Amino acid sequence: MEADEIALTAAQIAKSKKATRVVVLDLKGQSDVCSHIMICSAQNDRQAKAIADAIDAEIKSKNVKALAIEGKQSGQWVLIDFGSTIVHIFLDQIRDYYALEKLFPEAEFLPVN
């Protein structure tokens, strides 16, 4: 899977699990860490964990294994690192505090269906 496919698949899965404020940013040429990030919000820690589990399982079924998953214990900010794509699942208040979207004002937002 290409990085944009991973990000958009993760976004669709997050939406299917009732995540809110789902966005995908194309960071090609703007970040040395990854080329895409997907950011979404969960209403509570249980939902954040469920979203993370569903994304990990679906992407893994397509033969792409996560390099790391952090934050599932607390569920306030879960990060899934797929190498070229990083998935962030936040509780709203944590997301608003860190405002990752604002770190890359030049980033293109990919349409999420």
- CATH code assigned at 45: 3.30.460.10
User: Do residues 58 and 66 lie in contact, with contact meaning Cβ atoms separated by under 8 Å?
Assistant: no
Instruction: Residue 9: give the domain boundaries.
Output: 3-110
Q: Looking up tokens 């979207």, which residue turns up? A: 101
- Return the sign of the alpha-carbon dihedral for residues 93, 72, 28, 23: negative
pLDDT over 90 (residue 1): no
pLDDT over 90 (residue 113): no
- Quote the number of domains for the chain: 1
Sheet holding 36-42, edge to edge: 68-70, 77-81, 85-91, 36-42, 20-26, 108-110
Give the separation between CA 28 and CA 15, rounded to whole angstroms. 24
For 25-47, what is the mean pLDDT?
Answer: 95
For 53-80, what is the mean pLDDT?
Answer: 96
Q: How confident is the model at residue 5 (pLDDT cuts 50, 70, 90)?
A: very high
Residue type, 99: A
Q: What global pTM score does this model have?
A: 0.95
Is 27 buried (19+), middle (13-18) or exposed (0-12) by CB count in 10 A?
buried
